[in-house]
Amino acid sequence: MSESEIIARSEQPADVVSQLPTVAPPVDTFENEKEILLHVDLPGVQKDAIVINIDNGKLTLSAVRSVPTAGAQAWREIADVQFRRIFAVPQSIDVNNVRAELKDGVLCLHLPKSEAAGPRQIEITTG
């Protein structure tokens, strides 16, 4: 493959992504007093291929898995794919402190709850 072919391919990522099949990745959700935690299964996805946005109460996750090929293809079951998932995000989430970690093909999204969203006991007064 020549250098000009490599450059031409890298200049058209939007076209390539739009042609990929889109799959919703499996997600496990956990919640405690401090945060909501999402474990997203993204096998073979590199960190630079993941985009996470939070806007107007929606968390959008997009990722592209590109599997390198070498030699003549005899059989292929693992293909390039675009992962996409949208979640409703409660107003109680502190969007400024959301964290994400990628390890062994699992993306962990930490959605911390704001202090105001924590449980509180209501005092009853008599009139």
Per domain, the residue ranges of the chain are 12-67+78-117
* Nearest by Cα to 87 from 40, 47, 33: 40
Q: Please give the average per-residue pLDDT across 110-117, as a whole number.
A: 85
- pLDDT computed for residue 21 by the predictor: 93
Fold for 12-67+78-117, please state it: Immunoglobulin-like (2.60.40)
Contact 89, 54 (CB under 8 A): yes
Q: Tell me, what's the pLDDT at 86? A: 97
**Whether pLDDT at 12 is above 80:** no
Q: Please give the mean pLDDT across all residues of the chain.
A: 85
Residues 61 and 82 sit within 8 Å (Cβ to Cβ) = no
Determine the straight-line distance between the first and last CA of the chain, rounded to whole angstroms. Answer: 84
Question: Six-digit token pair at 45?
Answer: 């996805």
Q: What is the pLDDT of residue 7?
A: 39
What pLDDT, in 10s, does the model give residues 46-96? 999 999 999 999 999 999 999 888 888 888 888 899 999 999 999 999 999
Opening angle at CA 91, ends 86 and 96, nearest 5: 85
